[in-house]
C-alpha cells in the first residue's frame, strides 16, 4: 500500500457513520450483512448508507456482491491487512513484532512442515439436507486425500432432500452414509479437530456457532437454497444441478489453495474471496 491508498482508507474511516459500519462488519466477519440489515442496525436512511458503503468500498475496506435481490457486504480482509501493515511496518526499525503491535514476521509454513493428517472441513447450513450435504460429497471426492469433509445443520431436517439424493446418485457419489445431523455432534470430546468451517446459507451464518474443536478458520459461501425452487420437477432438479456446479467450482478453488504457504490473514482473504466468486457456466 502506498501513501495515497493509505490516506484514502484512513479518510474513509474518518467519519462517524462509516467507522461504525466498518466496525459492525468487522464484528460480523466472516459473515456478511445485507444493506437493509446494516441500515437497520446503524439507523441510517438507505440513500445515506449507499453513499457511505460506496466510499468504504472505493477505499478497499469492504466488498459487496449480489445474491438474488439483495446486495451483501463484508469486510475486505486483504485491504484491512494492507492498511495495518502500512501503519506498522516501520515500527521498531522495521520489526513491529518486537513491540507487539504488528504481526510477527515468522517463517511461512510449507506443505512439508504441516501436519500429515487431512484438513477437516465442516460445511454448515440450517437444515443439512441439500447444500451442505452436496458440498460434503464433492470435497470428499476431489479433495485428493488432503481433505475430509463433514456437514451438519443448526436445525437439521433429519432427512436428506430426495432431489439431492437423486443428483448425487446420478453423479456416482456414495449416498449410503449420508444423513441430516446436528452440529452438536461435532462439539464433543471425540469430535474431529476442525480446520475450516464454511457456512452455505445466510441464516446459519447469522447464528451463534458452537465452540468448535481445533479453533477453525471460518468463511461464508452463501448460495440460494435449491430446496426453495419452485416449478416442475425438472425445474427443481435444475436448481439442484446449478447448486452442485457452483459448489464444485468453489471447492475446486479451495483444494488448489497453497494452504501451507499462506499466512493466516492471507488464507482468510482467499477463503472469503472464494465465497464471493461469481462462477460462470461452462
Helix ranges (DSSP H) in the chain: 3-13, 16-28, 35-42, 46-58, 77-88, 91-94, 131-142, 162-170, 202-206, 233-255, 264-275
Q: State the cell numbers at 121.
A: 472441513
Give the CA radius of gyration of the chain. Answer: 20
> Do the bridges between strand 70-75 and strand 62-67 make them parallel or antiparallel, or are there none, so unpaired?
antiparallel
CA 244 to chain centre: 17
Q: Distance between CA 152 and CA 250 in Å, rounded?
A: 19
Bridge partner list, 151: 123
- C-beta atoms surrounding 230 within 10 Å: 7
Q: State the cell numbers at 264.
A: 493466516
Order across the sheet with 33-34: list the strands: 33-34, 70-75, 62-67
CB-count burial class (<10 Å; 0-12, 13-18, 19+) for 7? exposed
Q: Distance between CA 149 and CA 200 in Å, rounded?
A: 14
Q: List active site positions.
A: 125, 201, 209
Burial state string for 118-141 with b = 16 or more CB within 10 A and e = fewer than 16: bbbbbbbbbbbbbbbbbbbbbbbe
Q: Distance between CA 83 and CA 277 in Å, rounded?
A: 23
Q: State the cell numbers at 70.
A: 439483495
Amino acid at each position: 500500500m502506498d501513501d495515497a491508498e493509505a490516506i484514502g482508507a484512513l479518510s474513509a474511516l474518518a467519519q462517524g457513520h462509516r467507522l461504525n459500519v466498518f466496525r459492525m462488519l468487522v464484528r460480523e466477519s466472516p459473515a456478511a450483512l445485507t444493506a437493509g440489515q446494516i441500515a437497520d442496525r446503524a439507523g441510517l436512511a438507505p440513500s445515506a448508507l449507499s453513499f457511505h458503503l460506496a466510499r468504504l468500498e472505493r477505499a478497499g475496506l469492504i466488498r459487496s456482491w449480489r445474491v438474488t435481490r439483495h446486495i451483501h457486504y463484508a469486510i475486505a480482509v486483504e485491504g484491512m491487512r494492507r492498511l495495518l501493515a502500512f501503519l506498522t511496518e516501520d515500527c521498531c526499525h522495521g520489526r513491529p513484532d518486537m513491540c507487539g503491535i504488528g504481526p510477527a514476521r515468522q517463517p511461512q509454513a510449507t506443505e512439508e512442515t504441516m501436519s500429515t493428517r487431512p484438513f477437516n472441513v465442516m460445511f454448515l447450513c440450517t437444515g443439512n439436507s441439500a447444500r451442505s450435504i452436496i458440498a460434503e460429497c464433492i470435497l470428499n471426492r476431489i479433495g485428493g486425500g488432503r481433505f475430509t469433509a463433514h456437514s451438519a445443520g443448526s436445525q437439521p431436517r433429519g432427512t436428506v432432500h430426495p432431489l439431492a439424493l437423486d443428483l448425487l446418485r446420478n453423479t456416482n457419489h456414495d449416498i449410503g452414509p449420508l444423513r441430516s445431523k446436528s452440529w452438536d455432534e461435532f462439539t464433543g470430546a471425540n469430535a474431529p479437530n476442525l480446520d475450516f468451517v464454511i457456512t452455505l446459507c445466510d441464516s446459519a451464518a447469522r447464528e451463534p456457532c458452537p465452540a468448535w474443536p481445533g479453533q477453525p478458520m471460518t468463511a461464508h459461501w452463501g448460495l440460494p437454497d435449491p430446496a426453495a425452487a419452485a416449478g416442475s420437477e425438472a425445474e427443481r432438479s435444475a436448481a439442484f444441478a446449478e447448486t452442485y456446479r457452483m459448489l464444485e467450482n468453489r471447492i475446486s478453488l479451495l483444494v488448489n489453495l497453497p494452504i501451507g504457504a499462506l499466512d493466516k490473514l492471507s488464507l482468510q482473504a482467499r477463503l472469503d474471496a472464494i465465497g464471493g466468486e461469481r462462477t460462470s457456466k461452462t
